[in-house]
Amino acid sequence: MNENEQLRDVFDAIADPTRRQLIRLLSEAKELPLHELTAQFQMGRTAVSKHLTILKKAGMVLDRKVGRETLFRLNAAPLREIQDWVAFYSKFWSTNMFRLNQLLEEEE
């Protein structure tokens, strides 16, 4: 399997603001065709399609053909990896802030 065929990292997929906007748009609708997604951006159909391909390789977007049109929908399951990562560091900071607060109270 070459590098282009490998699944993309979820963090890499959400690194771009355009892709985050696509995720948001798809989260608000059951399915959207490419032309409706493209209308939300100041870029061409090809550029939006490339961003959707990156999200598809990360498993975050699913598509299906209906006649000549391709409909896209969000698969939010891969976002769980991000949620788990953030939750770990949230706990880390909460614990450290609690310790800092205790230290400051002891000094008073």
10-residue averages of pLDDT along the chain (108 residues): 55 96 96 96 97 96 95 94 87 78 79
Q: In this structure, how many other beta carbons lie within 10 angstroms of the beta carbon of residue 87?
A: 10
Q: Is 102 exposed, middle or buried (0-12, 13-18, 19+ CB in 10 A)?
A: exposed
Q: What local confidence, expressed as pLDDT, does residue 18 receive?
A: 97
> Could you tell me the sign of the dihedral formed by the alpha carbons of 35, 76, 30, 71, in that order?
positive
Q: What local confidence, expressed as pLDDT, does residue 3 receive?
A: 43
Q: What local confidence, expressed as pLDDT, does residue 102 receive?
A: 80
Q: What local confidence, expressed as pLDDT, does residue 63 receive?
A: 97
Q: What local confidence, expressed as pLDDT, does residue 7 receive?
A: 54
